[in-house]
Amino acid sequence: MTAELFGPELNDDGVTFRLWAPAAKRVDLVLDTAMPMTVRDGWFRLEVPAAKPGTRYQFRIDDELLIPDPASRFQPNDVHGASEVIDQRYDWKATSWKGRPWQETVLYELHVGTFTPEGTYRAVIDKLDHLTATGITAIELMPLADFPGRWNWGYDGVLPFAPDSIYGGPDDLKALIDAAHERGLMVFLDVVYNHFGPEGNYLHRIAPQFFSEQQTPWGVAIDYTRPEVRSFAIENAIYWLRDYRFDGLRLDAVHAIATAGTPHLLHDLSAAAGTLAEQTGRQIHLVLENDDNCAALLDPSEIVPRGRYRSQWNDDYHHAWHVLLTGEQQGYYKDYDNPGERIARSLAGGFVYQGEPSSHRGGQPRGEPSGHLPPLAFVNFLQNHDQIGNRAKGERLSTLVPTAALEAALAILLLSPSPPLIFMGDEWGATDPFPFFCDFDGELADAVRNGRKAEFAEAYAQSSDDIPDPLAESTTIRATLDWTALSQSESAKRLSLTQTLLRTRKEHIVPILPEIARGGDARFDDGVLYVTWAAGRKRLYLLANISDRERPRPAGLDRWDGSIWGGSPAAHLDPYSVFVAVGAR
């Protein structure tokens, strides 16, 4: 870690402003007037006694370029405007909150801007009682780092310390987190350390050392071999966990961190979070998205998993289910033929790809053995923002799949041991699409439009009229949840099912999860899925007919007692029927 810290520092005598700009010859701090900053080892510094919370400032680089603070805590006027000094002190109400154990996690992913018609942090508070009544225990916010324009998924952020002003101010975000904690809800934040967005990033000009010569799918890679750059990311993670009291972070696409350094950035970031957890007595949970399926990074059993991570988003689980439910096999879905067998493997052992060659990746081996890990190491889901929005029209499964099949998949998701994640609105079977959207101008806007057309060329060739323009405001409006749908009988029925499933999970599944020390045993035959997990002196059983035809009950089942869902299976299993039991071993 570097001796200096990024961003402004409030003290009794004003504010100390700092900027790491090794490529700059001169930097002036611009308030009402411009003031020259002193420099040492690439760090520009200035103490300003008159500065205070609310002071707005910029940096002028070499008398030619005016920029915001790359570590700005707030940008009232978007990514090119002045930064604002923020007093991070807050009158927290949930002062006794220390978090929840990982086994209780039921994640609910939401996009603040489209979760409600208002699209604000404060508006989310009004829906928290709905989430707790549903059985949700944790909300996961898509990235908030300041992005250019009026709407964005969040993955084009360029100022990682500044929660985007379009949703409200820093105190509004803290009020949301505080209100969630008062209701027993954990709050996670999606953070992006693999790239910066394409507009509003001035680091290339003032600190090209931030970047290596390697590439990511979104541009040049961030160089975490540099101590200052590594500190920037780790400080950012701790900032969200400490100053905003997030209960955990979801790290986006860590396989795309191309210049990770030694030790790997992920190790040092986790270790720093572990130190914070120990110092505060809080339960802090870090979750990965990692296409490489690195089982060695995961350890949900440690109270403070130093250098490791609680869990990983399990794309394999989703992909196998998507192929089974929709029959689609284009793109990465071509790796998931025989989807029933793939689902069984994932339920029993985590990853589907544990070192096998992936045809989608040119025959290269993918993943590591994961059956030794407990199911708590894998966050499973049927949908998330990516898997909906990465379709040309952003359709949800609720518009693609028969109700009976989707409800069976939902029951298996919520009653199997892995922490489940559902996307906003899926608790009532929302049909609102969630297409990709952003707000760029000029050549960058054209590049996004053309890129989407190239990615979904077949869809555009077949039907381009109803494919939403990612730059149009109407697309963001189209993605906004319609809460009036809850008054419809079918939505109410699905919500009731979700509530009952999550209540069953809380009462019967969660208590035995700490006893499930490793993966289970599974088999799939002729449409019938059968999985068991050892849980101390008990065993969790799951039996399901995931086909559209009646199937005979498999011979040689273990004793079926202690049914918690579906009753006792008959000699013949109805289509899309699910049975779950907790019995003695």
Q: Which active-site residues does the annotation give?
A: 252, 289
How many residues make up the chain in this entry? 585
- For residues 182 and 176, what is the distance between their CA atoms, to the nearest angstrom? 10
Instruction: Indicate the DSSP class of residue 81.
Output: S
Beta bridge partners of 146: 159
- For residues 557 and 551, what is the distance between their CA atoms, to the nearest angstrom? 15
Instruction: Tell me the three state secondary structure of residue 236.
Output: helix
| Residue 263, preceding peptide bond in cis (omega within 30° of 0) | yes
- For residues 89 and 152, what is the distance between their CA atoms, to the nearest angstrom? 28
- For residues 403 and 415, what is the distance between their CA atoms, to the nearest angstrom? 18
Answer for the pair 110, 426: CB distance below 8 angstroms, yes or no.
Answer: no
| DSSP track, 456-508 | THHHHHH--TTSPPTTSHHHHHHHS--GGGGGSHHHHHHHHHHHHHHHHIIII
Q: Please report, as a single letter, which amino acid is at residue 270.
A: S
Answer for the pair 272, 241: CB distance below 8 angstroms, yes or no.
Answer: no
Instruction: Tell me the three state secondary structure of residue 533.
Output: strand
Residue 160 burial (CB count, 10 A): 24
Q: Please report, as a single letter, which amino acid is at residue 141.
A: L
Tokens representing 68 are 């915001």
Tokens representing 448 are 């996004």
Tokens representing 37 are 């900053």
Answer for the pair 510, 103: CB distance below 8 angstroms, yes or no.
Answer: yes
Nearest Cα neighbor of 139 from 148, 152, 149, 130 is 130
Pairing of strands 9-11, 38-40: unpaired
Beta bridge partners of 36: 28
Quote the distance between the C-alpha of residue 163 and its chain's center.
16
Please name the residues in contact with 226: beta carbons below 8 A apart, sequence gap of 6 or more.
209, 210
Backbone angles phi, psi at 124, to 5 degrees: -60, -35
Instruction: Indicate the DSSP class of residue 298.
Output: B
Residue 511 burial (CB count, 10 A): 13
Q: How far is CA 47 from CA 44, 78, 253, in A?
A: 11, 25, 38
